[in-house]
Structure 1
C-alpha cells in the first residue's frame, strides 16, 4: 500500500515539507483501530525515508484527537479492519511502533489536539515532540478506572516529561485534565482557541522547515539520546553528534545566507 493513500482510518497529506497524519475515525472519537495503527506505522516510516519531509503533524478528524483503545474490541466484539491482521502477524511490534512506543521518527513530530486526547491518545501524545491543543481539549489516562494498565509507555515516560507528583496523580486517579491544566503541568506547550490547533502546529512546522534539516535532526536525536545520561556523558555524546553538522554544506550555506542577509537554501548536504 502506498502510504500516500493512508488507510480508511488514517488520512495522509503533504503541506510543503510537512507530512500531516490525521486520525480519521470521528464516529468513534478516533479510537484506535487496526487500519489506524497500520496507517500510523507506515506514515512514520515514510517520513523517515523521504528527505523532502522535514516535519510531521499528527492530528485528529471531527474535533477529537484520540479516545484511546477501542474498548468494544478489547471486550471481544471485534475490531475494524480485519484485513490488516496479516500486517500485525508479520510484525507483532507494529502497534507499538505506530503508537511511538517502540519507534521515534527522526523528523520532529508536532501534535495538534482538539477535543478528546485520553487513554491511548495521551500515550501517543507522549511520543510527540511539540504539542498544541485547543482550549476545550481533554487529556487523561483513564485505564485504572477500567481496571486496566496504561501499557503504551506512560508509567515510564510521563514521570520523565512532567513532575512525578503530577504524573502519579494523572496515572492513579484516571481523572480528566483540561488543556489549561495540561499546560500548567508541562504536558503540552501551547493552548490556542478551539479549532486552531492544526493552524498553530503547521506554523511551528514551517519554522522548523526553514531550518537546516541535518541540524534539526541531529538536535532532536541528541536531546533524546542524552536524556538519561550523566551530564558528563551527555556532553560528550552531544559533541559527537553535533560537531559533524559544522562540516556540512548546509552549515556553510547558513553562514553565507546570514552574511548576505537572505534566506538560506538548505540542500541536506
Structure 2
C-alpha cells in the first residue's frame, strides 16, 4: 500500500481506507495529499481484492479545500512531489475525482469541515455519510475564486438546480442536516461515527458480487445523461454479461443452499 505524509492508506478487510491526514490545517489540500489520493484511486482500481473504498479525514475534519495561505505565499508543502505533477498535468484533477471515476464504490465519511475543494471531492464519491456537526459549502465566490473542481457542472446534476445555484452563488456554509435535506449526502450520524457507518455500508457492498457491483456502478454513471431508450439499451450491454459469470451461478447456488456466497470475480 502507498500513501504520503498527508494521505494514509489502510485495509479494513476488502475495503481500502484513504485518510486525508493533515489535521493541523483541517486537511487542506497539499501536493503530498493530492499525490497520495491519486495513487490510492489507482491502487483500488488495480487490486481485485479491494471491493470498496472509504474516503475520510483525520482529526475531526474532512477537507477544508485548498490551502489559501500557502497558495498566496507560494509555500505549498511537498515541493518534492512537483515532478509527479509535471509528468501528469491532470494528476491533481484525478486525485480530486474530477478527471477520474474509480470502478469500485467510494463512500465518503465526513466529520467537521468539508468545504470548498472538500465539497468538490465529495461530489466524486458515490455514497456519503456525515457527522451531525459536519459543515459543507462552496466558499470560492467569497474569495473571488471559481469552484473549478467540477461543481458548476456536477452539483446541478446531483441536487436540484435551485439548491445548487444557492450553494454556488452565496458561498454560505451548510449544516449536515441541510446537506441531507437537499440530497448532497445520504446519512447524518452522531459525531465521531461517520467512519463506522461508512465501513458498515462498505461491508454490505463487499458481501455482494464484485463484478455485479462494478457493472451496476458503471451503468448508473454512463446512462445518466442518456435518453431513457438509450440508457435501457446500454444497461443491457452492461447487465447481460454479468449473468454469464461463475459468480452469478455461485450467487444462485448459495441462495438455494442458504449460505453466504463466495464470489471469485469469475
Shorter-chain TM range is over 0.9
* CA offset digits 1:119-177 (Å, max 9, x no partner): 00000000000000000000000000000000000000000000000000000000000
Q: Determine if the alignment matches structure 1 residue 102 to structure 2 residue 99.
A: yes
**Number of the residue aligned with 1:248:** 245
Displacement of 1:5: 3.6
Candidates 34, 37, 41, aligned match of 1:37: 34
Q: What CA distance in whole angstroms lies between the structure 2 residues aligned with 1:143 and 1:82?
A: 24
TM-score of the two chains, using structure 2 as the length reference: 0.99
**Number of the residue aligned with 1:82:** 79
Candidates 251, 258, 262, aligned match of 2:259: 262
Q: What CA distance in whole angstroms lies between the structure 1 residues aligned with 2:71 and 2:159?
A: 29
Q: Determine if the alignment matches structure 1 residue 182 to structure 2 residue 179.
A: yes
**Number of the residue aligned with 1:127:** 124
Q: What CA distance in whole angstroms lies between the structure 2 residues aligned with 1:243 and 1:212?
A: 14
Displacement of 1:115: 0.1
Extract unaligned runs of 5+ from structure 2. Answer: none
Q: Does the Cα contact within 8 Å between 2:2 and 2:39 map onto a contact in 1?
A: no
Q: Does the Cα contact within 8 Å between 2:2 and 2:36 map onto a contact in 1?
A: no
1:1-269 matched pairs, under 5 angstroms: 4-269=1-266
Extract unaligned runs of 5+ from structure 1. Answer: none
Alignment coverage as a number of residue pairs: 266
Q: What CA distance in whole angstroms lies between the structure 1 residues aligned with 2:194 and 2:178?
A: 17
Displacement of 1:74: 2.3
Displacement of 1:72: 1.6
Q: What CA distance in whole angstroms lies between the structure 2 residues aligned with 1:34 and 1:9?
A: 9
Q: Which runs of 4 or more aligned residues in structure 1 lie more than 2 Å from their structure 2 counterparts after TM superposition?
A: none
* CA offset digits 1:220-261 (Å, max 9, x no partner): 000000000000000000000000000000000000000011
Q: What CA distance in whole angstroms lies between the structure 2 residues aligned with 1:216 and 1:73?
A: 40
Q: What CA distance in whole angstroms lies between the structure 2 residues aligned with 1:33 and 1:174?
A: 22
* CA offset digits 1:167-214 (Å, max 9, x no partner): 000000000000000000000000000000000000000000000000
